[in-house]
Amino acid sequence: MKHVHYTEVDLEHPQEPGVKNIKVRWLISKKDGAQNFAMRLFEIKAGGNSPLHQHEWEHEVFILEGGGFVKDQTTEQPLQPGDVLFIKPMEWHQIINRGSTTLKFLCLIPYQK
C-alpha cells in the first residue's frame, strides 16, 4: 500500500508543445505497482493552459481548486471546484486558466494494453 501526502510526490514540468504554466504530480503510477490506471494532480497557474489536443485514451478529471475553462474545437465551458469531466478517446480538449489563482485538478488515465 502506498500512503503519502501529495506534497511528498515530485512536482514535474510537462514538456509537451503548447503546455504553459503547468506542473503535474504522478500520485499513483506504474512505479507504485499500479497496472491499470495512473492518478495525476495538475496545477495550472494563472494564465496557463494545456494544448488543444486529442489522444487514444479516455480520462477522468475532478476539479479541486480554482476555476478555468474546458474547450473543444468549437465550444468552451466554465470549470469550478467539484466539477467532473469525462473525456472520451480521440475527443479534442484543452484546459485553460484565465483566473488569478491556481487551478488544481485530479486526472486519471488508463494504461494502454
pLDDT in tens, 2-32: 999 999 999 999 988 999 999 999 999 999 9
Q: Which of 98, 110, 104 is nearest to 83 (CA)?
A: 104
Rounded (5°) CA angle 28-26-94:
120
One-letter amino acid of 113: K
pLDDT in tens, 46-82: 999 999 999 999 999 999 999 999 999 999 999 999 9
- Does residue 2 fall inside a structural domain? no
84 with 32: CB under 8 angstroms? no
3-state class of 72 per DSSP?
coil
Q: Is the pTM higher than 0.75?
A: yes
- Does residue 4 fall inside a structural domain? no
Q: Domain of residue 99: give its range.
A: 9-110
Number of domains in the chain: 1
- Does residue 89 fall inside a structural domain? yes
